[in-house]
Structure 1
Amino acid sequence: MSKQKSRNTQTEILLRRALHALGLRYRLHRRPVKGVRREADLVFPSVKVAVFVDGCFWHGCPQHATWPRNNAEFWRAKIEGNRSRDVDTDARFAEAGWLVVRVWEHEPPQRAALHVHEVVMQRRVARGL
């Protein structure tokens, strides 16, 4: 499992390309909130939007998650821990004024990009940018 990519996955790259085509510019793999050791996949600093691309297996996707039979207790604890950390991350970012957008790896990149674009544009309007 150590060979699994955590950055620049195919899903992430396709999302980035779609966002770029929509005219959005972003920062990659940043820790936007000081004191919180959580790295967002894409960050829009001016509007405080952080995008996380979640893998179906690693984050327990309700549609596609599978529970391994080998070493089942370990994997259940690992995936449930990831889910708990995701909830904690969302809360900590919200406290700091950030909006978290989560994208599942199975989502079509174009649809996910349109959702992120809409969120970023709404925040720009709300902030007068």
Structure 2
Amino acid sequence: MPDRITKLQRSNNMRAIKSQSMLENTVTKALWKRGFRFRKNAKMFGKPDISIKKYKIVIFIDSCFWHCCPIHGNMPKSNQEYWTKKLARNVSRDREVNQFYTENGWKVMRIWEHEFKQNFDTAVDSIADFIRRHRPSKEKHPESPPED
């Protein structure tokens, strides 16, 4: 089935999609309130949603649609050839990004958007725990018990 809009219209639609979602903003605000300091959407390979260069940590909040969640990902009914190719490339790029950071000594976390919808606080806790686990042990950090 042919696409109902022109290539130019499709390009304009895709360009209008913002790089930061409301979910990402809500998550980063929650982490910031807990005392974590990081960069949002830094101009790094793969454009991680959250990055902490000091600890070599990158975190990606993956949309169930754009990153083909095995639970909630769905394929549009129109223009399936285009969407199959597009979404497969997204998944392939995710693997390339993970491999790049892992090979360069970075810690990578990917978390699905549906995890925040199920239980926002638990999902934010999992990011906070990930950061704590991968920071140098001598570093003091918010929400860590005081050292004696």
| TM-score range relative to shorter protein | 0.7 to 0.9
- Runs of 5+ in structure 2 lacking a partner? 1-12, 140-148
Q: 1:111: which partner in 2? A: 122
Q: 2:63: which partner in 1? A: 55
Contact 1:93 1:99 survives alignment (8 Å): yes
Superposition deviation, residue 110 in structure 1: 2.0
Number of aligned residues: 123
Superposition deviation, residue 75 in structure 1: 0.2
Superposition deviation, residue 21 in structure 1: 2.2
Aligned partner (choices 70, 75, 83) of residue 83 of structure 2:
75
Q: How many percent identity over aligned positions?
A: 32
Distance 2:114 2:26 in 1: 12
Distance 1:111 1:102 in 2: 15
Distance 2:111 2:18 in 1: 17
Runs of 4+ in 1 over 6 A off after TM superposition: none
TM-score under structure 2 length normalisation? 0.76
- Cα RMSD for the two superposed structures: 1.5
- Runs of 5+ in structure 1 lacking a partner? none
Larger radius of gyration: 2
Aligned partner (choices 65, 68, 80) of residue 73 of structure 2:
65
**Which has the larger strand fraction?**
1
Contact 1:15 1:110 survives alignment (8 Å): no
Structure 2 residue matching 1:60: 3-state secondary structure: coil
Q: 2:132: which partner in 1? A: 121
Contact 2:66 2:87 survives alignment (8 Å): yes
Q: In the TM superposition, what whole-angstrom CA distance separates every residue of 1:68-87 from its partner, at most 9, and x where no partner exists?
A: 11110110111111001101
TM-score under structure 1 length normalisation? 0.87
67-76 vs 19-28, which deviates more? 19-28
Distance 2:91 2:76 in 1: 16
Specify whether residues 95 and 31 from structure 1 end up closer, same or farther in structure 2 by C-alpha distance, changes over 3 A only. Answer: farther
Structure 2 residue matching 1:40: 3-state secondary structure: coil
Q: Give the partner amino acid of 2:91.
A: R
Task: Indicate yes or no: 2:18 matched with 1:5.
Answer: yes
